Structure 1
Amino acid sequence: MPQAFRTTLLSLRDLLVSAGPLALLALALLVLAYAWLDPTPPRRVTLATGPAQSAYDEFGKRYRQALAANNIEVVLLPSQGSSDNLRLLREGRADLGFVQGGSNDRATQEENGLASLGSLFVEPVWLFYREQAARQRGAAAGFTSLTQLEGLRLNVGSPGSGVPPLMQKLFEANRIDPSRLTLSQLGETPATMALLAGDIDAIVFASAPQSLMVQMLLQTPGIRLMDFAQSEAYSRRFPFLSPVVLPRGVVDLSRDLPPADLRLVATTTALLAREQTHPALVQLFAQAAMDLHSPAGWFNRAGSFPNIEHSEYPVSREAERTIRGGRPFLQRYLSFWLANLVERMWLALGIIIAILLPLSRIVPPLYEFRIRSRVFRWYGQLRSLEVQLQDGADPAQVARELDALERKVAGINVPLSYADELYALRNNISLVRRRLREA
């Protein structure tokens, strides 16, 4: 092995040994920071949606597809609706869920450990009725008030959805005695089939216009949508309701459906997450929400959603940062997993560097000590030989020990920057040898 290469290897070894304790400390701090921050999210998350073919179900499929791009598996958990989703979140059976505005009272929201990722879309209250039933009630022009429904067979939504408690509040506001109606609580699909078959006169449910049931009923002959003429009054009485208008022709321009503007009342649906849901997953869902809900719709302009203003629940900090600032800078250029790791560890890395910088100052002196100790440790033996010579020891024995010392020193390897120390030792050995000859 060439001498220069051997010297380089020895210098590297000394450098590694000198910096080893500092490197081990840095590694230990990194491991502790990683365990404390838990920067890597789970690859599986559960999203509570809603009944089959509902808007919640359709949006759940879109979220699953969006997060699959980052190797996150979204398990869709069907439910009866908004109230059922709240129960699943409280019980820990779902990590996130769609919840309709007004489904819960503010007194218990802060106790549930839930955070909002923002309002995603409006859910109008769709009250479809049979045109024949309206004519029999003397309302050939159509129903415009809930009081006109007395005596009819009305389906108010399935148990677990947010519609039954909402309709109860609207009945109370209109002083309608529920006993004067024939109420049922069928799911959306059975209720729609019963409406089309004439077994019930009207159905009501709250859903986004993307719902397949809504799209189908709006275009079914003989089925009409109630015009909430008092929509503004409802929004004044109930803060979670807002008036919206279904514009004329928005369903089908060629068939002019609907033939006139229809006034509706609507709630907003929020995406809620449990406190235990990993922040990186919350960030990913917020990004997906911006892609899925920002386009213009029947009841909103482009960019209106997701919205974190006037939220009924505390807004997640991760969701607020994403909605206000968009995709994080690093995720624009790096993969999600790498960018997330850097984003969540950078503060810990800064603290570790602040701790290690002062400690790193001991590495150069320690390295210098290790190199120079190869040379200086032989000065003790050389001094001992010199003392023996002065005390009248046998010159031949001293000469043999001096020769052995010189052979050992000849095998010392030090970096070129420390060669002067080695040559100084050799000169001192030669000096002692001259004194030996003189003796």
Structure 2
Amino acid sequence: MKRTKWILLTVTLFIFALLLTACGGESDKNDANEGDNGGGEKPEFLSLLTGGTSGTYYPLGGEMATMIKDETGIQTDPQSSNASADNVAALRDGDAQLAFVQTDVISNAIEGINSFEGEPVDNVQAIGSLYPETIQIVTTKDSGINSVEDLAGKAVSVGAPGSGTFVNAEQILEVHGMSMDDIEEQNLDFGESTGGIQDGNIDAAFITAGTPTGAVEGLKAQVDVNIVPVAQDKIDALVEKYPYYASDTVKAGTYGLEEDVQTVAVLAMLAVTDSLSEDVVYDVTKAIYENTDKIAHDKGEFITKESALDGIGIDLHPGAKKYFDEAGISASE
């Protein structure tokens, strides 16, 4: 009798041990799947953060969202936003999957400086760069503002605190020996900025966007526009201290300008959360860079796979890297 009880106890313990092993193996399997860069699953929906409706990001983002949907079958919706800094924060927090950002802003985010001071972002990667984003210091021809130094004491819109435009304004003022304390700082979006100039409520505005920018074109329809130049020695000083800047030109004829205006630019790029799988990001990257000829926006001519790795300054998502490796594309030296 005792022997029978002993046998039953042994069998029971053996079965219990098997169950524990099975549960543990399933747990390990689930843990592995959770760490597999999104588990390789194809999402039904992607959110693409752009910028304000009066800038360049929003209309261009609308075209790209359509391309992604058509090529991958994933419903992709463009959403207006406060642009670069807020977009990076949304990617970091898991509130979106794709976003337009400035190369300087994402660099700051990864390093944990400026608007990301002490809070470095480690879950956002690059798909590729797009086009130059020109820093335009916009005013009117009769404002009397013809240099950056002339902004002293004037009411100037510099964008939302922490935004890419705000940081650009700070840094340009800095190389001119100035700061926000030297102007009457106004924190307006692009549409509010040009509206304020038109109404006479502000004197000038920093606008970082691809040219021509819709808000500035709207202003041109009402008044004669002037773009304030940045002198070459100041450009050199800016690029030396902040290498993500490059010299740029607002061409004659843009906004009715009679001559080219020298200024600086950063790059616009597409960023992605690292939670998306390699396969999904590969398909998204291919959808964009294999169909740039379908982009109707003026900035479409600048978006090429050959230049997509220039100036991004952060790690590529593995899916984007796979696409560019297969295409034989590497960053310019």
TM-score (norm 2): 0.74
Q: Which has the higher contact order (CA 8 A, sep 6+)?
A: 2
**Aligned counterpart for 2:126 among listed residues 87, 112, 116:** 116
Q: Quickly say closer, same or farther: Cα 1:123–1:152, change in 2 above 3 A.
A: same
Q: Quickly say closer, same or farther: Cα 1:263–1:305, change in 2 above 3 A.
A: farther
Alignment of 1:190-269 (within 5 A): 190-209=192-211, 211-217=213-219, 220-230=222-232, 231-249=235-253, 251=254, 257-269=256-268
Look up the equivalent residue of 1:317 and give its one-letter code: P
Look up the equivalent residue of 1:246 and give its one-letter code: V
1:80 aligned counterpart, secondary structure: coil
CA distance in 1, matches of 2:87, 2:162: 8
* Deviation of the 1:294 alpha carbon: 9.8
Partner of 2:323: 322
Q: Quickly say closer, same or farther: Cα 1:209–1:314, change in 2 above 3 A.
A: same
CA distance in 2, matches of 1:259, 1:101: 30
CA distance in 2, matches of 1:273, 1:148: 40
Q: Gapped runs of 5+ residues in structure 2?
A: 1-28, 113-118, 329-333
Q: Gapped runs of 5+ residues in structure 1?
A: 1-31, 135-141, 328-439
- The farther-off stretch of 226-235 and 161-170 is 226-235
Look up the equivalent residue of 1:42 and give its one-letter code: P
Structure number with the higher helix fraction is: 1
2:53 aligned counterpart, secondary structure: coil
* Deviation of the 1:115 alpha carbon: 1.0
Look up the equivalent residue of 1:92 and give its one-letter code: G
CA distance in 1, matches of 2:153, 2:94: 42
Q: Quickly say closer, same or farther: Cα 1:88–1:222, change in 2 above 3 A.
A: same
Partner of 1:126: 136
Cα displacement string for residues 389-429 of structure 1 (whole angstroms, at most 9, x for unaligned residues): xxxxxxxxxxxxxxxxxxxxxxxxxxxxxxxxxxxxxxxxx
Q: Quickly say closer, same or farther: Cα 1:205–1:63, change in 2 above 3 A.
A: same
The answer to whether the 8 A contact 1:120-1:305 is kept is no
Residue 313, structure 1, aligned to residue 314, structure 2: yes
Look up the equivalent residue of 1:237 and give its one-letter code: K
Provide the aligned C-alpha RMSD in A: 3.0
Structure number with the higher strand fraction is: 2
* Deviation of the 1:111 alpha carbon: 4.7
Q: Quickly say closer, same or farther: Cα 1:58–1:281, change in 2 above 3 A.
A: farther
The answer to whether the 8 A contact 1:245-1:299 is kept is no
Partner of 1:91: 93
Look up the equivalent residue of 1:153 and give its one-letter code: A
Q: How many correspondences in the alignment?
A: 281
Partner of 2:5: none
Cα displacement string for residues 211-245 of structure 1 (whole angstroms, at most 9, x for unaligned residues): 31143345653221112223344323321110012
Partner of 1:54: 55
* Deviation of the 1:303 alpha carbon: 3.8
TM-score (norm 1): 0.58
